[in-house]
Amino acid sequence: MIFHLPIEEKGHPARRLYSIASPPSQKDSLDFIIEIVPGGLGSAFIQKMNEGDSLTMQGPAGIFILKPSERDIVMLATGTGIAPLYSMIQEISNSKIQNPNINLFWGLKYGNDIYLKQELDKLADDHPNFQYSICLSREEKKINDARCLKGRITNGLESTIENCKLKIENFDYYLCGSPHVIESLRTDLESKGVPKSQVYFEKFT
């Protein structure tokens, strides 16, 4: 959704794009995951909002949606790139039709950065077709959770593929994060033989 903020930015009304984190089947409200950036114009305004305040939105915008396929799914996200993938996971898990297997690898820096843990645990516990790992790239402390790993999301993916004796080219991939992370992931998947037609992505700016 495009948030129309009642503040000026370089002489024009400020606009910010935030991905919907709630599933399409949730009709009475929308959920968003918004990073509060120090000094950020948009997030600073949103942080100061109170319950009951009004804000104009436009949308939905973008084309990062689930594609029909018989292949299982691997999702790779960093930071708030989890938002649209969380929406997809909820929708697939709650569907009454036969669901694909979903493996989510979510990259954060430290254990203290983790959120949505209880929600993801419940989805994984209730739906055997969904598994996830939170990959902590800079954590040095011992991790006492089987769903949390040290290292980058690419390490988590490679380890899972190797341990389960799977073929990396047999999945559809959904990527969401910052532009340099997405380009790095796309290049890595392509070098391992994953067709471009099986890789879908959204870059955060």
Q: Please, which pLDDT band fits residue 84 given cuts at 50, 70 and 90?
A: very high
Same domain, 79 and 154: yes
Q: Please, which pLDDT band fits residue 94 given cuts at 50, 70 and 90?
A: confident
Predicted local distance difference test score (pLDDT) of residue 82: 97
Contacts of 89-96 with C-beta under 8 Å, sequence gap 24+, read 89/123, 89/130, 90/22, 90/23, 90/123, 91/23, 91/24, 91/25, 91/66, 92/66, 92/129, 92/130, 93/123, 93/126, 93/127, 93/129, 93/130, 94/23, 94/25
User: Does residue 160 register a pLDDT over 90?
Assistant: no
Same domain, 47 and 91: no
Residue 95 lies in a domain: yes
Residue 124 contacts residue 89 (beta carbons within 8 Å):
no
Q: Rounded CA gap, 110 and 114, in Å?
A: 7
pLDDT (mean) for 174-195: 94
Same domain, 82 and 35: no
Query: Residue 73 contacts by C-beta under 8 Å, 6 or more apart in sequence?
Result: 92, 100, 101, 102, 103, 171, 172, 173, 174
Same domain, 86 and 165: yes
Q: Please, which pLDDT band fits residue 172 given cuts at 50, 70 and 90?
A: very high
Same domain, 94 and 158: yes
pLDDT (mean) for 119-128: 95
Q: How many domains does the chain have?
A: 2
Q: Please, which pLDDT band fits residue 14 given cuts at 50, 70 and 90?
A: very high
To which residue do tokens 């998947």 refer? 189
Domain that holds residue 9: 2-58
Residue 66 lies in a domain: no
Q: Which of 78, 87, 75 is nearest to 32 (CA)?
A: 87
pLDDT (mean) for 125-133: 94
Query: Residue 83 contacts by C-beta under 8 Å, 6 or more apart in sequence?
Result: 18, 19, 20, 21, 32, 33, 176
Residue 65 lies in a domain: no
Predicted local distance difference test score (pLDDT) of residue 151: 94
Same domain, 125 and 188: yes
User: Does residue 98 register a pLDDT over 80?
Assistant: no
Q: Rounded CA gap, 78 and 118, in Å?
A: 18
User: Does residue 164 register a pLDDT over 80?
Assistant: no
Residue 64 lies in a domain: no
Strands 2-9 and 12-17: antiparallel
Q: Please, which pLDDT band fits residue 171 given cuts at 50, 70 and 90?
A: very high
Q: What are phi and psi of 34, to 5 degrees?
A: -120, 120
Same domain, 98 and 26: no
Give the domain CATH number at 145. Answer: 3.40.50.80
Alpha helices in 97-178 (DSSP H): 117-126, 153-163
Q: What is the mean pLDDT of the chain?
A: 93
Tens of pLDDT, residue by residue over 34-72, are 999 888 899 899 999 999 999 999 998 888 999 988 899
User: Does residue 96 register a pLDDT over 80?
Assistant: no
Predicted local distance difference test score (pLDDT) of residue 2: 95
pLDDT (mean) for 179-198: 94
Predicted local distance difference test score (pLDDT) of residue 122: 96
